[in-house]
Amino acid sequence: MADPKFDFATRAIHAGASPDPVTGARSTPIYQTTAYVFDDADHAASLFNLQTFGYIYSRLTNPTVAVLEERLASLEGGRAAVCAASGHAAQLLAFFSIMEPGDDFIASRHLYGGSVTQFTHAFRKFGWTCKFVDPSDPANFRDAIGHRTKAIFCEVLANPGGSIVDIEPIAEIARNASIPLIVDNTLATPFLCRPFDWGADVIVHSTTKFLSGHGNAMGGAIVESGRFDWFGAKGKFPSMTEPDPAYHGLRFAETFGDFGYSMKTRAVGLRDLGPTMAPLNAFLTITGIETLHLRMERHVRNAQAVAEFLERHPAVGWVSYAGLESSPYRQLALKYLPLGPGSVFTFGLRGGYAAGVALVERLELFSHLANIGDTRSLVIHPASTTHRQLTAEQQVAAGAGPDTIRLSIGLESADDLIRDLERALRDLPG
C-alpha cells in the first residue's frame, strides 16, 4: 500500500507492508535468509534474466528490505528505491550507476565532512572527480558544468552548519544541462522536505539518522523520481542507455523506463559492489519510520527552544539554526522546510577550540559521539573529530571551524537539555 492519496502519517505506517500471507504476522518479519528456492529451472532463468521480479539472493533483494524500499519511495513521492548498507554506500551506488572513469560531478561545499572526504579521495580511485562550489549562488553550479559533468549533488539541509540550499534553481540548471540533481535529504527527512517537489531527480539518505531514529541501525537508500530523461541526455549516460554486456545487451533505461535507474543500481551496483542492507537493520528502520512524523515534530520543537536559549547566552558568539529570525537561511527554510528546519545545527563558542573541547566533556545529558538523528541529544566538536581530515579552509567552508559545536537535539524535555547546557557553559576556558 503505497498509494500517494493517503496522508504522510498513514503511509509512514502502512506503505509497502501488509500482513504476512503465510502466518498473518502483522509486523513485517525479519527475513533472515541468504537465498530463495526457485520454482523450477525456467523460473530461475527468468529471474536471472531480469524478466521476472522475485527473490534470488539477499545481496540483491530481500523481502524485509523491499518493504522499506517501497515505504521510502512512497514517503519521498518517488517511483522506486534501493536500500544499501549505509548512507555512504548509497552515495557510492548512486554515482556508480551513471559515472564512467574520467567523468566529474559538482557538489555543494556545504556537505557532511565524510561526504567531502569520500568524494575527494575514494571516488578518485574510480576515476571520478568532484568539483565543489559555494551553493549560496546557484549560478556557481552552472559555471562549473563541463562536457564530462554527469550530476549535481547537494544536501538540502546541510550537516553540520544547518544551512539550506536553494534547490529549485539548481534543479533547473541541472535540467538544462541534462544531468540529474541528486539531493541528500538525510537531515530533513521526507517529513520536513520533499526534494522531488522542487525538481530533484534522485534522493539519497543515510537511514542511520532520523529515519531509523534510535541510533541503532546503519543504512542508506537511493530513491528515484522516475522523471529523468536518460535518452534525452544524448549519450551522456551509456550505462543507462547502451546495451549492458552483463545482461545480454539489455538497456536499463529502455527496458525498465521510469525505474531503470533503480534497476541498474540494484542489478549491477548492489550485485557487483555488494553493500547490502541487513534485514535486521531494515526491520529497525521500518519500525522507526512508523513514528517519523511524531518524532520530527518534537525534534524541531526542542531544537527551536535550545537554539533560542543559546542565542541569548553570553558565551555563545553565533547560532546557525534556520528557525531563528537572525538566520540568513530563514526565507529558504520557510520555502523548503515549512514544518521546521530539522534538529541538527551548529553554534560558535567565544572561547574557540579550547572552550569547544571543554564543553563536550562537561555536558551530561548530551552524549559526546559522532552521530545525529537519535532520540537522545548528541554533541560533537567537529574540528577535533568528524572534520579533522579536512584542511582548515575546508573546515571553515563546511561550517566546522575551531569554535564550532554541533548539536543533534533529541526527544528529551527541552527544559532539561537547556539546564544541562546552562551548567556546562558556565566559566568556559578560552
Ligand X SMILES: Cc1ncc(COP(=O)(O)O)c(C=O)c1O
Return residues touching ligand X (CB under 6 A): 86-88, 112, 114-115, 155, 159, 184, 186-187, 206, 208, 218, 220, 372
| DSSP code per residue over 91-135 | HHHHHHTT--TT-EEEEES---HHHHHHHHTGGGGGT-EEEEE-T
Quick check: bond before 160 cis, omega within 30? Answer: yes
| Residue 272 beta carbon to ligand X: minimum distance, rounded to whole angstroms | 19
Tell me how far, at minimum, the Cβ of 169 lies from ligand X, in Å: 21
Query: 109 or 251: whose CB is closer to ligand X?
Result: 109
Min dist. Cβ of residue 184 to ligand X (A): 5
User: Do the Cβ atoms of 102 and 238 come closer than 8 Å?
Assistant: no
Decide: 404 and 356 in contact? Cβ < 8 Å.
yes
Q: Nearest residue to ligand X, using CB?
A: 87
Residue with Cβ nearer ligand X (123 or 259) = 123
- Give all strands (DSSP E) within 134-199, no chain letters: 149-155, 181-184
Place of cell 553493500: 275
Q: Shortest gap between Cβ of 155 and ligand X (angstroms)?
A: 5
Report the nearest approach of ligand X to the CB of residue 397 (Å). 16
Nearer to ligand X by Cβ, of 182 and 365: the residue is 182
Q: Phi and psi for 42 in degrees, rounded to 5?
A: -65, -40
221 dihedral zone (left: phi>0; alpha: psi -120 to 50; beta):
beta
Q: Which is nearer to ligand X, 161 or 199 (CB)?
A: 161
DSSP letters, 157-172, are B-TTT--B--HHHHHH
Shortest distance in whole angstroms from residue 89 CB to ligand X: 7
Taking the least distance from each CB to ligand X, the nearer of 111 and 316 is 111
DSSP label of 149: E
For ligand X, the closer of residues 112 and 336 by Cβ is 112
Cell of 281: 537493520
Lookup: cell for 357: 573541547
Q: How far is the CB of 367 from ligand X (least distance, A)?
A: 15
Which residue's CB is nearer to ligand X, number 61 or number 115?
115
